[in-house]
Amino acid sequence: MSKAYFSAGCFWGVEYYFKRLKGVTKTTVGFMGGEIENPSYKQVKTGTTGHLETIEVEYDPEMVSYEALVRYFFEIHNFEQADGQGIDIGTQYLSAIWFNNTEERDTAIRVFGELTQMGYHPATQIREAKPFFLAEDYHQNYLDDRQETPECHVYRKIF
């Protein structure tokens, strides 16, 4: 199994969609990018920790490629929004791909370039992965546990 990390606004909606993608074996919501170790949701939602709401996607690379995950990531959120996602505004809701190695970085840059060539203006940041901190238990599988659907995310075919 391999792991990939994505931020695209509220992590509940991102998790909702990635859980449904063939080849994804597990999803975990949490935080990445800030300097505070083991931040709480209450701390992160202030927008002062430097952390972004992030999803850890565990996947089987024999069933789904990293590139396919990146493409899907762009199809499940508004990657052109620079200040958050939908009504969720703030630095903790920014769009980012967190790369673990140069191959992942190069893949993210290539797909970003394809979007630009298609006339889009991606606001997504491509950042080196930092330590991932789990969000509290009640955030895991949040929408599915409540039998709800995302408010700030919708799937739209791009590629």
Q: Which of 78, 55, 68 is nearest to 22 (CA)?
A: 68
Q: How many CA atoms lie within 13 A of 130 on its CB side?
A: 19
Residue with tokens 């290539």: 110
Q: Is 10 tagged catalytic?
A: yes
Q: Residue 109: left if φ>0, alpha if ψ -120 to 50, beta else—which one? A: alpha
Give me the catalytic one of 4, 8, 10, 111: 10
The secondary element (H helix, E strand) that includes residue 44 is helix 41-44
What pairing do the DSSP bridges indicate for beta strands 52-59 and 24-32? antiparallel
Q: In whole angstroms, what is the distance from residue 105 CA to residue 70 CA?
A: 11
Q: In whole angstroms, what is the distance from residue 6 CA to residue 24 CA?
A: 13
Q: Which residues does the annotation mark as catalytic?
A: 10
